[in-house]
Structure 1
Amino acid sequence: MESTGVRTERPSDGVLLITLDRPERRNALDGATSRSIAAALDALDADPSLAVGVLTGAGGTFCSGMDLRAFLDGDAPEVPGRGFGGLTQAPPAKPLIAAVEGFALAGGCELVLACDLVVAASDAVFGLPEVGLGLIAGSGGLLRLPHRVPRSVATELTLTGDRFGAADAHRWGLVNRLVDPGTAAAAAVDLATRIARNAPLALAATKRVLAAADLPVAEAWDRQESELAAIKATEDAREGARAFAEKRTPRWSGR
C-alpha cells in the first residue's frame, strides 16, 4: 500500500513495515501524511494476519517533527482522536517498534515515545526542543519520557531542550537495541518477526496489561485478571498447550 508520504510493506510474516517517505522534508509530518499513518495503523490492527508493526523513516532520517511550512499554511499534523502523526494520542492495539535512523526530534521523538520498543542506529539523535520555540512537547512527550528514562534525566532534557544521542538513550533504557547506521529497519523487522511468532491475542493482551502497570495496584491486578480470564478462554490458548505437548510449532488462529 502506498499513500501520501507513507509506504507500507510486509517484509516478514505477521509484520507490517510503515515508512515515512518525505525525505525532501526530513520526513516532517503534514496533515495528509499523518492521516496516512493513522490509516496504516488501522490496517495493522484490523488485519488478523498481522501481529506487529515497525515504524521508520526514509532517507536516513526518522522524523524531524511537524512540517512548519504546512503548519504556517494552516495544515495541522494532528488527526482527531489520534493525535500527532495519527499515533501519539491513540497508539495501535498491536505492538509497534520504532526503527530510528538520523534525527527523531520534537514530534518525531514523540512518535518514538508512542512506540512500544525502539531500535536505533548508533548515530541517531533524539530531542524535545519545543521550549526553545516557545512551545511544550504536547503530543505525549512530557507524559511519556519520564516513564522511559530516569525522571531527573527527563526533567533536564525537556527543560533545556537539549538533544541526546542513541548511546545515552540506550543507557537510560529508551532504546532497546543499538545497531550500526543503516541497519535499524532490518534489525527492527528481525525483532518484530520474533514477536510475531507468538499468539496475536496474547500479544495484544500483554500490551494492555503493561499499559495498566502504573495504575493503583488493586486496579492493575483486576485488569490483569480480566485479561487472563479472557485469554484462557481462547482457542489459541488451547492450541498453545496442544503444540507444547506435541512438541510442534503452534498454528495460531487469532480466536
Structure 2
Amino acid sequence: MTGPARRVVADAAGRAAEILGGLPEPALRTPEERSAAAEAHAAARRVRGVFLERHAAAVYAELTGDLSRPLGLAELCAAAAEACPGLVPGPEQLAADRARPQAAKEGWEVDQGLFAAAVLRGPREGLHLLEAMRRPTPRALAAQDAYRSAGEADLGSVRLERREGIAHLTMCREDCLNAEDERQVDDMETAVDLALLDPAVEALVVRGGKMTHPRYRGRRVFSAGINLKALHAGRIGLVDFLLRREMGYIAKLNRGLSDGGGWWERPGGKPWLAVVDGFAIGGGCQLLLAADHVIAGADAYLSLPAAQEGIVPGAANLRLTRHGGARLARQVILLGRRIRVIEPDARLFVDEVHDPEEELDAAVPGCADRLRGEAVAANRRMLVEAEEPPDAFRAYLAEFALQQARRIYSPDVLGKVGRFAAAT
C-alpha cells in the first residue's frame, strides 16, 4: 500500500544526500553552503512529513506486527530505517553525527523527532509506544537477582539500597553536581526498574549524594539539570536522552512498569519521595513535578532555565501549570524565575521545608514511611490518572518530540552550548 509513497521518500532523501555529499563537513561550510544544506534537508523533510501524515499508522503496524510486538523508540527508529529507506537516518549517518560536537552535526536526529512525533500523534500507536517504553530494561532484568539478594546495587552514577521496605536511590555524579547525561539516564532507569520490580519495596526515596565538585565538596546536591558539557560535545541524544528520559524512568516513576499483562493486572507504580539538597535545576526541578511528596533543606532553590538554555524542559510545561497555575509557569519557564524554597510560591513544589543541618536527614524516614501501604499506592495511581491521563501525556510528547528536535539544532542553542559548557 505504501510502496510508491516509500519510493517518493527514498528519492527525496537521495536528492538531499547528493547535495549534502557535495558540500564540506558541516563545521567547514560557508554561510551559502549552510543555506544550501538547510534547504536540502527542508525539501526532504517536507516529503517525509506528508508521508508520515498519511502512512505513520501503517508503518508502525508493519514494524510492530500490528502492535503485537513492543519496540522501544530506539529499536523502532532502527527498524524504520531498514524498512523505509530515507524516512529516518540510518546507522552510518547517526554514527557520523555522534562523533561530532553539537554545533558541527548534520542534524539527522531531527528526522527521528519527526518520525517519533508522527507515531505519538496516533492515539493507538502512541499509547502502544509509551507502554513499550515502560517495560523493564534488559540491564535491570539481568541485575535483579543479585540486587534482591544483596539489597543494594551500585550502578555507577546511581546507588540503590533497600532499607526496611524503602528503596533509596542516590544520584552520585559527584564531579558534576548530578548533571544528567545519557549514562545517568540509563543508570536511573535501571535503578527505578529494580526498585519497582522488587516485591519487598513499598516506596522509593530519590536524593542526591555528597559532591566532590570544588564548589560543593562534601555537600549533598539534588541535580544541576542537563549536563551542558555533554550537550556541547554532542553526547546528548534526542532518542537516547531527551525522549528516553521522559518516556522511560520518569514515566515509570509516574505510572509504573508495563509488563505486557492485560490492563486489569498492570501495576500502577509505587509512591516516591524527593529530597532536595542545595538545588533542583532544570531536569531536577522536572522530577519534583512528578514526585508524590517533596521535602527540602531551607537553603535550597528551584529553577527551570529553559529560556537561557534554549530547549524545552521536558514535561514541565505540561505539569507546572497544574502545580502552580499559568502565571507562575510562565514566570519560571519563559522568564527564568528562580524560587527559593522558603518563598510562599515554593509550597506549590515542595511539601515540607527543614533545616538542612539539623532536621532534613531526620525527616526522611518518617516521610517515606507515610507513603507506605497498599491503599496509598492505589490512591496515588488514581491521582495520576486524574491529573495526567495517558492520552494527554501522549499528545504532549508528540509535540515535544518535534519541538525539542528543532531546538537542539537551532542556531541560538548551538551558539549557547559552548558558552554554558565553559562556564560550568
TM-score over 0.5 (shorter chain)? yes
Instruction: Using the TM superposition, give the Cα deviation of residue 86 of structure 1 relative to its aligned residue in structure 2, in angstroms.
Output: 4.7
Q: Of the candidates 190, 202, 209, which is equivalent to residue 366 of structure 2?
A: 190
1:148 and 2:323 aligned = yes
Instruction: Determine the structure 2 residue equivalent to 1:44.
Output: 195
1:19 and 1:55 in contact (8 A); partners too: yes
**Aligned length, in residue pairs:** 211
Instruction: Determine the structure 2 residue equivalent to 1:66.
Output: 226
> Matched residue of 2:249: which SS?
coil
1:16 and 1:53 in contact (8 A); partners too: yes
Alpha-carbon distance change, 169 to 65 in structure 1, aligned in 2, over 3 angstroms: farther
- In 2, the alpha carbon distance for the partners of 1:170 and 1:56 equals 22
1:31 and 2:190 aligned = no
Instruction: Using the TM superposition, give the Cα deviation of residue 141 of structure 1 relative to its aligned residue in structure 2, in angstroms.
Output: 1.1
Show the 5 A alignment for 1:224-235.
none
2:341 and 2:347 in contact (8 A); partners too: no
1:122 and 1:179 in contact (8 A); partners too: yes
- In 1, the alpha carbon distance for the partners of 2:225 and 2:247 equals 9
- In 1, the alpha carbon distance for the partners of 2:180 and 2:295 equals 21
TM superposition score normalised by structure 1: 0.75
Instruction: Determine the structure 2 residue equivalent to 1:210.
Output: 383
1:54 and 2:201 aligned = no
- In 2, the alpha carbon distance for the partners of 1:35 and 1:209 equals 28
Opposite residue 131 of structure 1, the aligned amino acid is A
Instruction: Determine the structure 2 residue equivalent to 1:111.
Output: 287
Opposite residue 207 of structure 1, the aligned amino acid is R
1:27 and 1:64 in contact (8 A); partners too: yes
1:122 and 2:298 aligned = yes
- In 2, the alpha carbon distance for the partners of 1:210 and 1:17 equals 23
1:7 and 2:159 aligned = yes
- In 2, the alpha carbon distance for the partners of 1:142 and 1:111 equals 13
> Matched residue of 1:38: which SS?
helix
Once the two structures are superposed, what CA deviation does each residue of 1:94-144 show, in whole Å capped at 9, x if it has no partner?
A: 11111000011011111222222111111111001111222221x111111
1:166 and 2:318 aligned = no
Higher helix share: 2
1:76 and 2:268 aligned = no
> Matched residue of 2:161: which SS?
strand
Higher strand share: 1
1:120 and 1:179 in contact (8 A); partners too: yes
1:27 and 1:62 in contact (8 A); partners too: yes
TM superposition score normalised by structure 2: 0.46
Instruction: Using the TM superposition, give the Cα deviation of residue 79 of structure 1 relative to its aligned residue in structure 2, in angstroms.
Output: 5.0
- In 2, the alpha carbon distance for the partners of 1:123 and 1:154 equals 22
Opposite residue 232 of structure 2, the aligned amino acid is L
- In 1, the alpha carbon distance for the partners of 2:388 and 2:251 equals 18
1:121 and 1:180 in contact (8 A); partners too: yes
- In 1, the alpha carbon distance for the partners of 2:235 and 2:297 equals 31
Identical-residue share of aligned pairs (%): 31
Instruction: Determine the structure 2 residue equivalent to 1:246.
Output: none
Alpha-carbon distance change, 9 to 20 in structure 1, aligned in 2, over 3 angstroms: same
Instruction: Determine the structure 2 residue equivalent to 1:136.
Output: 312
Opposite residue 67 of structure 1, the aligned amino acid is N
Instruction: Using the TM superposition, give the Cα deviation of residue 193 of structure 1 relative to its aligned residue in structure 2, in angstroms.
Output: 1.6
Larger Rg computed on CA atoms: 2
1:82 and 1:90 in contact (8 A); partners too: no
Opposite residue 377 of structure 2, the aligned amino acid is A
> Matched residue of 2:235: which SS?
coil
